[in-house]
Amino acid sequence: MRHDPLELAQTNALFQLRRALATTTQGKETGATLASISVAYRVLALCALLREADSNRFGELLCKAGQARLHLLERATTGLQVSPRAMAASNDVGFLASLAAGDLPTARRIAALSPNTPTPGWEDEEDFIFFHCLHRMVHPTSEEAGLRPILTRWRQLEADNPSPFFQVCASLMENESSRFQAAFTQMLDARQTLMREYRKQLNFDRELYATEGKVYINGLALLRLAESRGLPGREHDVLIPRLALLSSFKPLPEHAWREP
């Protein structure tokens, strides 16, 4: 019997979420549990969009993914033991979920508490620097003094072959609309190529492909960031359906993530 991978993804994410939330209400909160809550909300957001065509629920669940990440970072400052893997900036799905939802206040709070250096053993500098750059970029313009050296270092890391991600971030810093549009298109092309190659791998995950492979949350996050900086948006793209763009940010209670 062949099951719908999107339905399975939704069922499994909801089970994971309820189990993790039950753990937190029992006073057994851990970094791994909070990280899993953030992941589950992001998957459920994609399922709400793709299975139910509910753009409002999509945005709400993305906001909750961000709230869970913020709570993890706040608890880490008050003594909660969080593994390096869970703390690593490039393993954070909540920050970009917040941005994709248009929840800039939460994204800024996450950025302020996120690591300022790569996490040894869990991420290399090239993976880290993309997130670090965005962390600086979500702050008001007056706080971007350190952004140019980050981009300079990123350019050095990529030598003579700057990635679309670098080009997107550089164009955002300079508020260059035409350059951003071209780099963004290249980034989507690279994502499509990556997904095609992923389908050929032995560890291909049908549920992952049915969710993250169909809607590019990171791309949507970058569009929202561009719009917040005054650059014109895009109507829709491959991997960023029009319905995802219809979602509008509505502030949630601070601990809304504790209820599915």
Q: In angstroms, rounded to a whole number, what is the distance separating the alpha carbons of residues 29 and 72? A: 9
The partner residues of 185 in beta bridges, in order of sequence, read none
Contact 153, 200 (CB under 8 A): no
Compute the distance between CA of residue 133 and CA of residue 148 in angstroms, rounded to an integer. 9
Query: Are the beta carbons of 67 and 255 closer than 8 angstroms?
Result: yes
Q: Where are the domains of the chain?
A: 5-258
Per-residue pLDDT at 142? 53
What is residue 237's predicted lDDT score, i.e. its pLDDT? 84
- Angle at CA 70, nearest 5°, toward 98 and 59? 25
pLDDT, one tens digit for every residue, the chain (260 residues): 468 999 999 999 999 999 999 999 988 899 999 999 999 999 999 999 999 999 999 999 999 999 999 999 999 999 999 999 999 999 999 999 999 999 999 999 999 999 999 998 889 998 999 999 999 999 866 566 788 899 999 999 998 789 999 999 999 999 999 999 999 999 999 999 999 999 999 999 999 999 999 999 999 999 999 999 999 888 778 899 999 998 888 899 999 999 99
111/114 Cα distance (integer angstroms): 5
Q: Where are the alpha helices (DSSP H) in the chain?
A: 5-25, 31-52, 55-76, 84-87, 94-101, 104-113, 125-137, 147-157, 164-174, 177-198, 206-211, 217-228, 242-246
| C-alpha span between 175 and 52 (Å, rounded) | 36
The alpha-carbon radius of gyration of the chain (Å, integer) is: 18
The pair of structure tokens assigned to 28 is 């057994």
